[in-house]
């Protein structure tokens, strides 16, 4: 667990930082009870996430993919932001220059009140038309199978970046911009070794930013982290304020 001295040091760095970027992963959502949907956690019927979250799976059997997403939406609908989400909203309020990058699709950062953010893998509460491309919010639980666009009547898909798909250009550009401008990167609930997280920590280090990590386990890449705080996000993040 993070020591009092480590917490004090991190708090001092954060207070003096002019420009803060935050990167969050599955760990912060896990503290709200959201399953990772990967590995053993994510097995649904006999399918793995990697089998269903692909354009090919959707083209082959959109009903099956939507059934899985409905199951996920029903689970996430019962979850609420935790103290770590709320602390990041307060940090955004305090800092003139702040940006949050999340790999999570559950929408909990938005629900907590975060506004300066990039949801780089999309948002499970948004749908995108496969015909006209319109993106809209949809909180129906469960969604009718198969959901159709109200405008052009084409099939809707989850507004999620699936395996084999690229991140959106505007997100890539915005993330690169904030990482190159920041003087402190806070990495929360992600190992930082899977891309894009690994690349983000590297970019921040290149420009001389301080990297502080909060995770249950210490990073396998200590060269990318200046200060590692071990513990649950919901317990540690609020202490930094």
Q: One of 13, 85, 109, 121 is an active-site residue; which one?
A: 121
CB neighbour burial string for 76-100, b if at least 16 within 10 angstroms, e if fewer: beebebbbbbbbbbebbeebeebbb
Rounded CA separation 38/52 (Å): 11
Q: Is 121 a catalytic residue?
A: yes
Closest to 127 (Cα-Cα) out of 114, 113, 141: 141
Contact 165, 197 (CB under 8 A): no
- The catalytic residue positions are 121
């Amino acid at each position: 667990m993070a020591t009092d001295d480590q917490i004090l040091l991190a708090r001092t760095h954060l207070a003096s930082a002019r420009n803060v970027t935050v990167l969050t992963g599955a760990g912060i959502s896990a503290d709200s009870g959201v399953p990772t949907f990967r590995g053993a956690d994510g097995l649904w019927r006999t399918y793995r996430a990697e089998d269903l979250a692909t354009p090919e799976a959707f083209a082959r059997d959109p009903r099956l993919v939507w059934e899985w997403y409905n199951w996920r939406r029903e689970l996430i609908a019962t979850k609420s932001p935790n103290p770590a989400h709320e602390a990041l909203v307060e940090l955004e309020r305090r800092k003139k220059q702040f940006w949050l990058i999340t790999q999570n699709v559950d929408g909990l950062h938005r629900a907590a009140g975060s506004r300066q953010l990039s949801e780089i893998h999309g948002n499970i509460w948004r749908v995108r038309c496969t015909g006209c491309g319109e993106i809209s919010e949809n909180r129906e639980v469960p969604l009718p199978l198969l959901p159709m666009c109200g405008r052009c009547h084409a099939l809707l898909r989850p507004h999620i970046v699936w395996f084999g798909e690229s991140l959106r250009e505007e997100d890539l550009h915005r993330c690169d911009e904030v990482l190159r401008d920041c003087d402190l990167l806070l990495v929360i609930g992600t190992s930082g070794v899977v891309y894009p997280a690994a690349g983000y920590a590297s970019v921040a280090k290149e420009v001389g930013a301080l990297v502080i990590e909060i995770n249950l386990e210490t990073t396998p890449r200590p060269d990318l982290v200046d200060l590692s705080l071990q513990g649950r996000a919901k317990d540690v993040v609020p202490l930094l304020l």
